[in-house]
Amino acid sequence: MNVNYPDKKPLAFLPTPLEKLDRLSKHLGGPDIYMKRDDQTGLATGGNKTRKLEFLVADALVQGCDHLITTGAPQSNHCRQTAAAAAHFGLGCSLVLRGEPQSQMQGNLLLDKLLGAHLYWTGDRPRHEVIAEVANEHRVMGHKPYIIPLGGSNVMGAASYVLAMQELMSQLTAASINIDFIVFASSSGGTHAGIVLGAEAYGFRGQILGISVDHPAEDLQMQVSALATATATHLGISNVSIANRVEVNDDYLGDGYAMVGDTEREAIQMVAQLEGILLDPVYTGRAMGGLIDLIRWGAFTRGQSVLFWHTGGAAALPAFVDKLL
């Protein structure tokens, strides 16, 4: 299928590895588990947002912008990667972070500062108001800001995961691997939308399951479907069926976003000690915890193959020491 991708600026180390997790698979006694290692994209400890930023930064530069503004939680992986992308291309960067200033600069917050980002805090104000103020402040200073949405999740960001599915399909074909399910953490919806659309564009016939880390399933399904549809239009992809492919499981929301419980703790320790791979407490730890639980309940069985798409985030681990040990 012909896909009209926008221009992009190289940032990621691609293709990222495709790895079989033999010890984890044996330990759980269920399906063969593979991992797509987007924690290895390379930009300031890597992560899935690096793929998105290749397209987003290219768009910013085409528009003549010189300052990136984005938003997220205090330990946002997206914000950290945006700060790194800005540094790489000599752009300014402002991060609008949720809540009040933190007492300790740990994890991604520390990296944000090392990368030269300016930090702004929303307090109890709406995020969009603070973003607008920051953008106006930089316009007054003579800059041309480029605002990147939460998680980099717009049609430009989602396009990167359509392309990532082409990369994955090439790897699976070369290794003669058949995958029955792709599982990953889903939140702002851009990665999820791109994977679903890419599956249609490049012929992946297995099931795709996003494990929500913060939204009710129905809300996230609508969000992902809308973004996938808009991305298809943006990329000139037609005659694809999207709605029926957007699956979301919201059984693992626990006590809320970034609230670490037994599910996340067990998953992080299990994968670290069996495979030497680090997950994060907010996204991949929760999604892997969900996958482990689903395997135990028989949702995935022997003879099947499941691919877990690792979206990064281990840089946040030091900020959760008291929750993990």
- One-letter identity of residue 154: N
Q: What are phi and psi of 316, to 5 degrees?
A: -80, -10
pLDDT band at 243 (very low <50, low <70, confident <90, very high): confident
What pLDDT was estimated at residue 239?
87
Q: Do domains 18-47+153-324 and 66-143 have the same CATH topology?
A: yes
What are the structure tokens assigned to 264, written together?
């996340």
Does residue 214 have a pLDDT over 90? yes
3-class secondary structure, 305:
strand
Task: Give CATH for domain 18-47+153-324.
Answer: 3.40.50.1100
Structure confidence at residue 140 (pLDDT): 98
Q: How far apart are CA 250 and CA 257, in angstroms?
A: 12
Q: Is 187 a catalytic residue?
A: no
Please give the C-alpha separations between residue 320 and each of 129, 269, 276, 324, in angstroms, as whole numbers. Answer: 29, 13, 19, 6
The residue behind tokens 């800005």 is 86
Residue-by-residue DSSP string for 31-65: SEEEEEEGGGS-GGG--THHHHHHHHHHHHHHTT-
User: Do 287 and 185 meet the contact criterion of CB atoms below 8 Å apart?
Assistant: yes
pLDDT for 42 beyond 90: yes
The pLDDT tens digits of the residues spanning 45-95 come to 999 999 999 999 999 999 999 999 999 999 999 999 999 999 999 999 999
* Alpha-carbon distances of 214 from 6, 65, 162, rounded to whole Å: 30, 32, 23
CA distance 126 to 74: 15
pLDDT of residue 158: 99
Long-range contacts of 256-259 (CB under 8 A, 24+ apart): 256/214, 257/73, 257/213, 257/214, 257/282, 258/73, 258/75, 258/282
Going edge to edge, which strands form the sheet with 207-212? 18-20, 32-37, 305-310, 181-186, 207-212, 247-249
User: Sign of torsion, CA 217 223 227 229?
Assistant: positive
Tens of pLDDT, residue by residue over 99-129, are 999 988 999 999 999 999 999 999 999 999 9
- Mean pLDDT along residues 11-32: 99
Tell me how far CA of residue 175 lies from CA of 21, 179, 263, 303, 321, in angstroms: 15, 11, 32, 17, 38
Average the pLDDT over 198-210 and give the result: 97
Q: Give Cβ neighbours of residue 29 (< 8 Å, ≥ 6 apart).
A: 302
Looking at residue 33, what is its pLDDT?
99
Q: What is the pLDDT of residue 1?
A: 78
Residue from 105, 112, 119 nearest 45 by CA = 112
pLDDT of residue 82: 99
What is the average per-residue pLDDT within 177-197?
99
Is the predicted pLDDT of residue 8 greater than 90, yes or no? yes
d(CA 77, CA 93) in angstroms, rounded, equals: 15
Instruction: Kindly report the CATH class assigned to 66-143.
Output: alpha beta
Neighbouring-strand partners of residue 93 = 68
- In tens, the pLDDT along 273-323 reads 999 999 999 999 999 999 999 999 999 999 999 999 999 999 999 999 999
The active-site residue, picked from 25, 76, 160, 212, is 76
pTM: 0.97
Would you say residue 241 has pLDDT above 90? Answer: no
Strand order in the sheet with 67-72: 118-121, 92-97, 67-72, 145-147
- The domain limits of the chain are 18-47+153-324, 66-143
What's the rounded mean pLDDT across residues 217-241?
A: 96
Among residues 49, 52, 50, 60, the alpha carbon closest in space to that of 146 is found at: 60
Q: What share of the chain has pLDDT > 70, as a percent?
A: 100
Sign, CA torsion 189/193/196/198: negative
Low-confidence winner among 96-100, 242-246, 305-309 (lowest mean pLDDT): 242-246
Mean pLDDT computed over every residue of the chain: 98
For residue 268, what pLDDT is reported? 99
